């Protein structure tokens, strides 16, 4: 099985080590000092007291790798449009693209049914390029739950978790998604195949849409956000707005708002990915985690006053810091394009 991990940072590196150890023909696309270290010394995973090093093909030029069975995209979601052309040599007639990214993926309305079937969202896929050039029909959904970090160039530290739920946009249990899930399991990962992958996407996004921007504005960790009465109330307000939007699209939440907040509180003094990006001077994932929910709210004509306020503030915060490279917040419901 030929698997390319495109964007082999912390999560991509973790997957790369596990899949290579299970016998997959793994290639990694990365850049900078991390790529140089992997080329020279291999890719090392530190997990508890265990240490594993593998030596997969590593490159910054996907054209060197040829057509793949699966391309697992572990880039930040706002970076995908910028590498569409570079990904093309990896794609053959049967290649599947696995979107292991945060937020709403580009293929969301593929096989969705209803009024928005085959629609694209400007905030996450400007001009519908990912839909057309990567192909919605190639997509397999993937939710990323593990926490990992790059401890040093070429060295990944696994913090906790190994769950990567998978699912076809159509909800079917295809041979492609089952084959990938089986290989994930052989690699020591959890990979349940879900017939309602969008429910799981929204369950994770439910927390990201509020905790991430609030943390970037306050520099507070999850335990503080979920304990302080004011930030907890603001989080709850955004989550209620988000739930109303998602349910309009047929999403079902398997926990309630309070349980979701409590789950985040129990994680402890954890810095969200958006706060980490802010502190490290990296572009923040505002559009795929927050703007897209606002856009979908405007499509369904559901007001989002709490989300609107926080989004305006965090976007301005990112612009002042030079860390915003996304699209402007879509203000017209007619901005939704049909592919």
Percent of the chain with pLDDT over 90: 89
pLDDT the model gives residue 310: 97
pLDDT the model gives residue 338: 37
Which ranges constitute the DSSP H helices of the chain?
10-21, 32-41, 84-87, 129, 175-186, 197-218, 222-227, 229-248, 257-267, 273-280, 286, 292-300, 305-320
Q: Is 60 exceeded by the pLDDT of residue 187?
A: yes
pLDDT the model gives residue 76: 86
Q: Is 70 exceeded by the pLDDT of residue 330?
A: no
Alpha carbon distance 233, 239 (integer Å)? 10
pTM comes to 0.92
The CATH architecture of the domain made up of 2-195 is 3-Layer(aba) Sandwich (3.40)
Percent of the chain with pLDDT over 70: 96
Per residue in 112-157, pLDDT tens? 999 999 999 999 999 999 999 999 999 999 999 998 999 999 999 9
Paired tokens of 195 = 């017939």
CATH classification number, 198-321, choose in 3.40.50.300, 1.10.3720.10, 3.30.460.10, 1.10.1040.10: 1.10.1040.10
CA distances from 296 to 39, 116, 242, 300 (A): 42, 11, 9, 6
What mean pLDDT comes out for the span 17-40? 96
Q: Are 194 and 166 in contact (CB under 8 A)?
A: yes
Domain definitions of the chain by residue range: 2-195, 198-321
Q: Is 50 exceeded by the pLDDT of residue 20?
A: yes
- Could you give the residue numbers annotated as active site? 204
The overall average pLDDT reported for the chain is: 93
pLDDT band at 327 (very low <50, low <70, confident <90, very high): low
């Amino acid at each position: 099985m030929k698997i390319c991990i495109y964007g082999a940072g912390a999560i991509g590196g973790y997957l790369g080590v596990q899949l290579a150890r299970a016998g997959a023909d793994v290639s990694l696309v990365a850049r900078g000092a991390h790529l140089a270290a992997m080329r020279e010394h291999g890719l090392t995973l530190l997990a508890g007291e265990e240490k594993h090093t593998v030596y997969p093909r590593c490159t910054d030029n996907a054209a060197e790798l040829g057509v793949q069975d699966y391309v697992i995209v572990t880039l930040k979601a706002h970076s995908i449009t910028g590498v569409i052309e570079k990904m093309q040599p990896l794609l053959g007639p049967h290649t599947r693209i696995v979107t292991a990214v945060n937020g709403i993926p580009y293929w969301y309305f593929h096989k969705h049914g209803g009024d928005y079937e085959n629609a694209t969202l400007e905030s996450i896929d400007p001009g519908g390029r990912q839909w057309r050039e990567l192909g919605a029909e190639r997509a397999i959904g993937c939710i990323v739950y593990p926490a990992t970090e790059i401890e040093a160039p070429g060295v990944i530290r696994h913090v906790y978790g190994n769950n990567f739920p998978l699912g076809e946009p159509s909800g079917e249990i295809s041979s492609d998604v089952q084959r990938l899930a089986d290989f994930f399991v052989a690699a020591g990962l959890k990979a349940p195949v879900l017939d309602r992958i969008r429910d799981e996407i929204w369950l994770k996004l439910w927390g990201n849409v509020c905790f991430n921007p609030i943390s970037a504005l306050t520099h507070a960790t999850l335990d503080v956000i979920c304990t302080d009465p004011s930030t907890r109330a603001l989080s709850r307000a955004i989550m209620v707005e988000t739930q109303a939007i998602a349910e309009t699209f047929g999403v079902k939440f398997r926990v309630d708002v309070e349980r979701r907040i409590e789950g985040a509180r129990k994680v402890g003094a954890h810095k969200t990915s958006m706060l980490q990006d802010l502190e490290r001077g990296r572009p923040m994932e505002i559009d795929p985690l927050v703007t897209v929910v606002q856009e979908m709210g405007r499509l369904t004509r559901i007001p989002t006053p709490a989300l609107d306020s926080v989004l305006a503030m965090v976007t301005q915060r990112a612009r002042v810091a030079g860390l915003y490279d996304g699209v402007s917040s879509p203000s017209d419901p007619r901005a939704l394009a049909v592919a």
